Chain A
Amino acid sequence: MKWTFFHKLGSPKWFYDISGRWLPWFAVAAVALLAVGSVWGLFIAPQDYQQGNSFRIIYIHVPAAFVAQSCYVMLAVAGIVSLVWRMKLADVALKCAAPIGAWMTFVALLTGAIWGKPTWGTYWVWDARLTSMLILLFLYFGIIALGQAISNRDTAAKATAVLAIVGTVNIPIIKYSVDWWNTLHQPATFTITEKPAMPVEMWLPLLLMVLGFYALFTVSLFMRMRLEVLHREHKTRWVRDVLEKLS
């Protein structure tokens, strides 16, 4: 186990340099994957036999939902790293990733509602997936609100770390109870989760979109983290050199 790598990871300067080198690659990958995936999914892939063209929204809804959920888990992991190993970079990651995750959840909800109109006739229906997404959005709001409310930066980081961990422990419980609540109250509706086995032409663009969304998430996260690192370390010499080079 390379502990030196792990401890180097805690240095903001190292992160700034590494992310600077990787960022263009991630950006190119994101643009390429999203472009190919969306054109393929939204225009070229064959129509769904039941829903016609309206199902194509899953090419945006599903990746956004995946990223939203894994982002919350990432917040909890960053929280654990921050509390156990006292790594300041983990604090930065948590603070920067929360709004991105919230936006992804919002996109998932919006596209879910857009999908709902042609499928069920209304924009919003209390389906298990959408309800879980809504609760996830509230959990994100909670973390962002707590981070904003505490003025001391380090205390805010620790408190949001604890909240993220508590939220993540609760997420499976919430998901299962909402799923089960949904079956209680709406036994016969068509659920988004039940898909017949998708042919390759359908799930391959979905895979590309999912990867593209993850790349997009990484790009936004790196950009936000770089800005936050510069802000936090603004008194050090390496930041002054960087700023001089930029200006």
Chain B
Amino acid sequence: MRQIVWLLFCREWRLAWRRPGDLLNPLVFFALVVSLFPLAVGPEPSMLRAMAPGVIWVAALLATLLSLDGLFRSDYEDGSLEQWVLSPHPLELMVLVKVLHHWLVSGLAMVVLAPLFGMMLALPVSVLPVLVLTLLLGTPILSLLGAVGAALTVGLKSGGVLLALLILPLYIPVLILGTGAMDAALQGMPVTGFMLWLGCLAVLALTLAPFAIAAGLRIGVSE
């Protein structure tokens, strides 16, 4: 079983790096959305600082949704998904590897870029580690939950709006916890509680989401 995990990871890695545009677009989108807010509400630092946690998190949500839309679609269209469903290996495991690979190339990149945007939005440097940590715990949850939506809509060509409609309500707890942690850090209060809750949600998503994703893919393939 370890061999199939490694081979799948290599396959996804190769596919991702042969189409680098797909990797960069969500990151550029992330940067654009974050930049829109100072343009919209004015560059005054105190206002930006108050809005910064929310803005960065909402931008991360939307960028993740954008990158997840086509997660399974190309495999569905050329028939690879059928072969995954038919193989003797557990579909849940393969799906988990695929989503985690997707997180590595998109979510992790957002985590690395986030301090830069934090500074652009006038966040004090002391708060930036908390920002990075909340995104580090939160973006896997976003990827996993979003993959559930991507699996359920895999046969549809209707685009990302339906995916957003399905998944955004499920993102709300992560959003609340992430921004809550940031606000607490801005006020100098301890953030361990938030981190533990985020970690809890991450473990829950890691264990339960693959089953929902596999169920969605089986339904899509049996069309």
Contact = CB atoms under 8 A, between A and B. Distances in A.
A and B touch in the complex (CB under 8 A): yes
B166 A145 contact: yes
Contact of A174 (B166, B169, B215, B220): B169
A138 B164 CA distance: 11
Contact of A149 (B158, B173, B177): B158
A150 B156 contact: yes
A128 to B, nearest CB: 11
B26 to A, nearest CB: 22
Contacts of A141: 165
Interface residues of B, number: 27
A180 B176 contact: yes
B177 to A, nearest CB: 6
Contact of A162 (B165, B208, B215): B215
Interface string B50-76: 000000000000000000000000000
Interface string A75-98: 000000001000000000000000
Interface string B159-173: 000100110111011
A146 B152 contact: yes
Nearest to A177: B173
B185 interface: no
B155 A150 contact: yes
A146 B155 contact: no
A162 B154 CA distance: 14
A184 B180 contact: yes
A13 interface: no
Contact of B162 (A145, A170, A176, A178): A145
A178 B222 contact: no
Contacts of A162: 152, 212, 215-216, 219
A169 B208 contact: yes
Nearest to B164: A142
A155 B223 contact: yes
A15 to B, nearest CB: 25
Nearest to A140: B169
A167 interface: yes
Contacts of A166: 148, 170, 212
A173 B173 contact: yes
A142 B177 CA distance: 23
Contacts, number: 71
Interface in A129-148: 135, 138-139, 141-142, 145-146
Interface in B149-205: 152-153, 155-156, 158, 162, 165-166, 168-170, 172-173, 176-177, 180, 183, 201
Given A138-B165, A145-B165, A159 B216 contact: yes
A181 B148 contact: no
Nearest to B152: A159
B170 A170 contact: yes
A-side interface size class: 20 to 34
A158 B169 contact: no
- The secondary-structure label for the interface of chain B is helix
- The secondary-structure label for the interface of chain A is helix
B219 A149 contact: no
B162 A177 contact: no
Given A155-B155, A162-B219, A166-B148, A142 B173 contact: no
Contacts of A142: 165-166, 169
Max chain A Cβ within 10 angstroms of own Cβ: one of B162, B212, B219, B220: B219
Contacts of A139: 169
Interface in B124-162: 148, 152-153, 155-156, 158, 162
A211 interface: no
A170 B171 CA distance: 10
A167 B219 CA distance: 18
Given A174-B169, A174-B172, A158 B153 contact: no
A207 B170 CA distance: 32
A135 B169 contact: yes
Interface of A: 83, 135, 138-139, 141-142, 145-146, 149-150, 152, 155, 158-159, 162-163, 165-167, 169-170, 173-174, 176-178, 180-181, 184
23 contacts: A138-B169, A139-B169, A142-B169, A146-B152, A146-B162, A146-B166, A149-B156, A155-B222, A155-B223, A159-B152, A159-B219, A163-B152, A163-B166, A166-B170, A169-B208, A173-B173, A174-B170, A174-B173, A176-B173, A177-B173, A177-B176, A181-B176, A181-B180
